[in-house]
A and B are shown apart, each in its own frame.
Chain A
Amino acid sequence: MDAIILQILNGLDKGSAYALIALGLTLIFGTLGVVNFAHGALFMIGAFCAVTFSKILHSSYTVIDETKTDFLGNPLKVDMTYVEKWFGNAAGGTILDWAVPLSILFAIPVMIIIGFVMERGLIKHFYTRPHADQILVTFGLAIVLQELIKYFYGANPIPTGAPEMFRGSFDFGALLGFDANTIIYPYWRLVYFVFSAVIIGAVFSFLRFTTFGMVVRAGMADRETVGLLGININKRFTLMFGMAAAVAGLAGVMYAPINSPNYHMGMDFLVLSFVVVVVGGMGSLPGAVLAGFLLGILESFASMNEIKSILPGIDQIIIYLVAIIILLTRPRGLMGRKGVMEE
């Protein structure tokens, strides 16, 4: 039982990453009709926003420490950060410690600007082009973005820590009345789950309760009609794209402490998030979220020893297997709408 609860927690956590990326992808699919292969790259750039911001915070000046030596036997150069110099060691240290959550503030404008530039500079020329062309150009863009990150940050993962207070793990079992230490779960993963829930909630309420959101939803249902109403749909599409980029970026920022960011993490997530979107059903936002969590939980269950001993290798293929079964039983995924990207 405790094992199952643990895997459900794991699944929710994985699922929230899938769901956040899939949400952004669906927004773009649904409103703009564009297959965006660069969406994984936006997630990756989000994670590197966290890396960059903490690098900026760590910008430092060099002091030579004569008492110690470096690997070549010369006096050791010690880096001192400006933040600590300006704010004092205690406050400065706290700021450095909270680099990742703070970088949300940095990431939102950066991601929105990246989204705007992408949409205005490139994607908008591809609205009327075949999906194949969209795939080619966004895939090219994904490669370029990824290689730029590799050029500046290298290929190895870059450790990015969560704030000290979230580094430990939390005894979930005790809370639920199990024996102590049976279900412990890292704080930061709980934070990630809650954060995702908030973002998903925010996106949904934004679409539900604002006029902008209503226009966008109407646009998703019937683009021509909304265009006929004389609403400047293009401007809204640009905003939409910026928003989708920001959602992907935020998913990346908060993911950085879970697994050290590397330049190819976007591609790693890309295929899975496409599967999630399609299983959820093209053009359906709730479908994308539902499928994200469903696949996350199933993937976690499939990696349990009890299941692997019956079906060896099932954890390698579970997502794809589930995708096939769902698509064969429900022609348009879980909640897909008719006629979206079916040609």
Chain B
Amino acid sequence: MLGLNKKDSVLLLVVTLLAICAPFILNPFPTGSAMAQFNAGYPDLMQRFVIFGIFAIGFNILFGLTGYLSFGHAAFLGVGSYSAVWMFKLLSMNIIPAITLSVLVAGVFALLIGYVSLRRSGIYFAILTLAFAQMSFNLAYSVLTPITNGETGLQLALDDPRILDAAPANAGSLPYPSLFGFEMSDTYIMSAGAWQFQFSVGYYVCAIVLLVSFYLAMRLFRSPFGMMLRAIKSNQQRMNYTGLNARPYALAAFVISGMYAGLAGGLMASMDPLAGAERMQWTASGEVVLMTILGGAGTLIGPVLGAGFIKYFENIFSKINDNILHQWFAFMPDGIEDIMVTIVHPFIGKGWHLTLGILFMLVVTFLPGGLVEGGQRIGRLFRRRKTGRNDNADSTDSTKKPAE
């Protein structure tokens, strides 16, 4: 299917199904129940899962395949966001020109930074990319404020020209980003018994872009080009003495992954038309590194899982407060309830960083291949149980395929 082998086709199909059904899957608990706190099926978070998934997939093309660790990838995401918002301000609220420009500008930016940074490798490369990104962030926050609107972030205004759009019917309110009449903020809510599912236009636009990005990444992984990138990671010396010029390969990978980041930035601005400087900060670059490693660097689906994992904790755990804890443990006797609340308290709300930090350590210590390895182990466990004891072949088959 689509030029993929069977295994990849199945993976793509599974991802497609998950993306389509996300509003159901992510809302397993009835609205209003105590567990509803863990529901993630609302437009903003679903969009974020997908957008950071795209960002991480792109980052993985560079890091997972070539092994070049960029610590400045958030700069491309930021540049993409700024380009998109400027398109909304100047040209049109249609997201197509905005996203196109984001990808292009991020690509050019990546070409410049990549051309310079790829003169070095290893940690020297990482620090060069970090330096470029931090310069971008610091300048965007301060002296470049006329372009970036600094601290607040670039946002839409009532008096923006938007030369392609007709004057809005209601002059007193801002228009919404849209795709040929479908506004990104439109949401259809379906109530089914105690459950409530939200279908957002914005989410499905993001999901389609994710599927396309995922498919393209898959093709790239399986292409001769992808093989060359893995060869760079594996042995650059041999690569050079095999008549292959590693620099343009690495640069192409850098630009492609920069464009993925720009795409994510453009989409982010399309879902919520504001571009803040913080999304270029080193912590944001570090976040995508963590997402990729956490999910499983060099694997196709890992980065998406890692992105979902981190964003889930950021958005769900930070919103749990003591009040909710008391509701959860209300069934217990008073004294025990208070003890339980006291025990859990440091890990929720303002303590969500702590939980995340502990999970980072646990995952990387016990699952060296990231969440994907966790999945594989569970899968193997199931298979072993199914096939019984006679078939020991599976358990010895621990050599991972390099680019799975």
- Interface check B119, CB cutoff 8 A: yes
> Which residues of chain A are near B364, meaning CB under 8 Å?
133, 136-137, 140
Across the interface, do B116 and A144 meet the contact criterion of CB distance under 8 Å?
no
Across the interface, do B360 and A136 meet the contact criterion of CB distance under 8 Å?
yes
In the bound complex, CA of A137 to CA of B357 (Å): 9
> Which residues of chain A are near B354, meaning CB under 8 Å?
143-144, 147-148, 151
In the bound complex, CA of A324 to CA of B124 (Å): 10
**Which residue of B has the minimal Cβ distance to A276?**
B127
In the bound complex, CA of A51 to CA of B359 (Å): 29
Known: A271-B134, A275-B130. A139 touches B122 (CB 8 A): no
Q: Which of B121, B351, B368 contacts A129 (CB 8 A)?
A: B368
**Which residue of B has the minimal Cβ distance to A331?**
B120
Across the interface, do B67 and A343 meet the contact criterion of CB distance under 8 Å?
yes
Across the interface, do B123 and A323 meet the contact criterion of CB distance under 8 Å?
no
Q: Which of A143, A313, A331 contacts B124 (CB 8 A)?
A: A331
**Which residue of B has the minimal Cβ distance to A270?**
B282
> Which residues of chain B are near A144, meaning CB under 8 Å?
354, 357-358, 361
Interface of A is mostly: helix
> Which residues of chain B are near A148, meaning CB under 8 Å?
354
Known: A132-B69, A136-B364, A313-B139. A342 touches B122 (CB 8 A): yes
In the bound complex, CA of A330 to CA of B124 (Å): 11
- Interface check B138, CB cutoff 8 A: yes
In the bound complex, CA of A136 to CA of B371 (Å): 13
- Interface check B323, CB cutoff 8 A: no
> Which residues of chain B are near A141, meaning CB under 8 Å?
357, 361
Our count of residue pairs bridging A and B at CB distance below 8 angstroms stands at: 125
Q: Mark A28-43, 1 if CB is under 8 A from B, else 0.
A: 0000000100000000
Residues facing A in B102-130 (CB within 8 A) are 116, 119-124, 127-128, 130
- Interface check A5, CB cutoff 8 A: no
In the bound complex, CA of A131 to CA of B69 (Å): 10
Q: Which of A137, A147, A316, A320 contacts B142 (CB 8 A)?
A: A316
Across the interface, do A139 and B286 meet the contact criterion of CB distance under 8 Å?
yes
> Which residues of chain B are near A271, meaning CB under 8 Å?
130, 134, 282
Total interface residues on A, CB under 8 Å, equals 44
- Interface check A113, CB cutoff 8 A: no
In the bound complex, CA of A320 to CA of B294 (Å): 28
- Interface check B15, CB cutoff 8 A: no
Nearest chain B CB to A320 CB, angstrom units: 4
> Which residues of chain B are near A321, meaning CB under 8 Å?
131, 135
Across the interface, do B143 and A316 meet the contact criterion of CB distance under 8 Å?
yes
Known: A133-B293, A136-B364, A316-B139. A328 touches B131 (CB 8 A): no
Residues facing A in B280-308 (CB within 8 A) are 282-283, 286, 289-290, 293-294, 297
> Which residues of chain B are near A142, meaning CB under 8 Å?
357
Across the interface, do A278 and B124 meet the contact criterion of CB distance under 8 Å?
yes
Across the interface, do A323 and B360 meet the contact criterion of CB distance under 8 Å?
no
> Which residues of chain A are near B139, meaning CB under 8 Å?
313, 316-317
Q: Mark A262-290, 1 if CB is under 8 A from B, else 0.
A: 00000100010011001100100000000
- Interface check B365, CB cutoff 8 A: yes
Across the interface, do B286 and A313 meet the contact criterion of CB distance under 8 Å?
no
Across the interface, do B124 and A333 meet the contact criterion of CB distance under 8 Å?
yes
> Which residues of chain A are near B127, meaning CB under 8 Å?
274-275, 278-279, 323, 327
In the bound complex, CA of A136 to CA of B134 (Å): 20
- Interface check B353, CB cutoff 8 A: yes
Nearest chain A CB to B30 CB, angstrom units: 33
Nearest chain B CB to A273 CB, angstrom units: 11
**Which residue of A has the minimal Cβ distance to B281?**
A271
**Which residue of A has the minimal Cβ distance to B236?**
A343
Known: A136-B293, A313-B143, A331-B124. A275 touches B138 (CB 8 A): no
> Which residues of chain B are near A132, meaning CB under 8 Å?
63, 69, 289, 293, 297
> Which residues of chain B are near A114, meaning CB under 8 Å?
none
- Interface check B356, CB cutoff 8 A: yes
Across the interface, do A136 and B122 meet the contact criterion of CB distance under 8 Å?
no
- Interface check B375, CB cutoff 8 A: no
Across the interface, do B121 and A343 meet the contact criterion of CB distance under 8 Å?
yes
In the bound complex, CA of A103 to CA of B73 (Å): 41
Q: Which of B63, B346, B356 contacts A143 (CB 8 A)?
A: B356
**Which residue of B has the minimal Cβ distance to A311?**
B143
**Which residue of A has the minimal Cβ distance to B123?**
A341
In the bound complex, CA of A117 to CA of B136 (Å): 38
Across the interface, do B360 and A139 meet the contact criterion of CB distance under 8 Å?
yes
Known: A132-B69, A147-B351, A320-B131. A332 touches B293 (CB 8 A): no
Which 5 pairs, one residue from A and one from B, show the smallest C-beta to C-beta distance?
A140-B360, A143-B357, A313-B143, A320-B131, A147-B354
B: residues with CB less than 8 A from A are: 63, 67, 69, 116, 119-124, 127-128, 130-132, 134-135, 138-139, 141-143, 282-283, 286, 289-290, 293-294, 297, 346, 351, 353-354, 356-361, 364-365, 368
Q: With A136-B360, A137-B361, A151-B354 given, can you name 4 additional A-B contacts, CB distance below 8 Å?
A: A137-B365, A139-B286, A139-B360, A151-B351
**Mind listing 7 A-B residue pairs with CB under 8 Å?**
A122-B361, A132-B293, A139-B357, A140-B356, A271-B130, A324-B132, A343-B122
